[in-house]
Amino acid sequence: MDTPQHIPVPFLSKASEVLATGVSGNVIVQVTVAYAAEYGLDLPHPIYPFQASNKRTALLENLRALPASVQYQVIAELCDRASQSEQAPAVAEVKLMLASRYSHLSSDAGNAWTGPLTVETRHWLDAHPNVKRLYVEALQKHQAGVYQRNALDDLRLALELLVQEILGNGRSLENQIASLGQFVKAKGGSKELSNMLEKLIDYYAKYQNTYVKHDDAVPNEEVELVLELTSSFMKHFARMHARQ
């Protein structure tokens, strides 16, 4: 399926409805005008009060006057500004949908979705579709900047499921450490690498238990590190498993 190079109007309409209840008319004008000015574009509602029946209509019409890549930036910024409003849950859903469906329109070339490590990991997970689905969901949540604790939970579950598929059992990650070490050695890994991975997986599981099971807040930079660690583990294990 070809990647869409536009954001469909139904999604723009939904985003406008949610965001218009989370930010003021002044903010709508401020943000949309700033981006229009940067790209030399005209808007139907460049001033506030605007000539529209309501905020939702004004925002939708301003968005439709912008190219898709700029629409993406405007919606993302308005989501950030509305994230502390009473509409926070609905805003988070919009931001997640934006990132999961249209991240290719983002100007951020270094995001988690397009980075070399996650691209390679997704490739090696093609042989494990259920694992890949969980992993992709974690990437989408992290990319959107929402549900970070859930992203960590998805990462742990994805790694645990991959290890279960590789080792052919249903044990928890904590109870797979010795078997993982044996698997690495059996696939030609050095004793030192096997020992290092056993230690890392042990501390990884303890970290996840602390933050995921106890619902503690996790700093964003730590979520990114755990994402990279999980990606490295999964890529390496899936690649070793694919060896004859």
Q: For residue 65, count other CB atoms closer than 10 A to its CB.
A: 17
Amino acid 111: pLDDT? 53
Q: Kindly state whether residues 34 and 91 are assigned to the same domain.
A: yes
Amino acid 109: pLDDT? 43
pLDDT in tens, 53-100: 999 999 999 999 999 989 998 998 899 888 888 888 899 899 888 888
Q: Is the pLDDT of residue 106 over 50?
A: yes
* Owner of token pair 């002044």: 26
pLDDT in tens, 27-49: 999 999 988 988 889 999 999 99
CA distance 110 to 234: 21
Q: Which domain holds residue 36?
A: 9-105
114 with 80: CB under 8 angstroms? no
Q: Is the pLDDT of residue 239 over 50?
A: yes
Q: Is the pLDDT of residue 110 over 50?
A: no
Amino acid 71: pLDDT? 94
Q: Kindly state whether residues 149 and 221 are assigned to the same domain.
A: yes
Q: Kindly state whether residues 61 and 146 are assigned to the same domain.
A: no
CA distance 16 to 228: 34
**Where a domain ends, among 45, 79, 105?**
105
Q: Is the pLDDT of residue 1 over 50?
A: no
Q: Is the pTM higher than 0.85? A: no
Q: Kindly state whether residues 157 and 101 are assigned to the same domain.
A: no
Domain assignment present for 57 = yes
Q: What is the mean pLDDT of the chain?
A: 87
Low-confidence winner among 30-39, 96-105, 195-204 (lowest mean pLDDT): 96-105
Q: What is the CA radius of gyration of the chain?
A: 22
Domain assignment present for 234 = yes
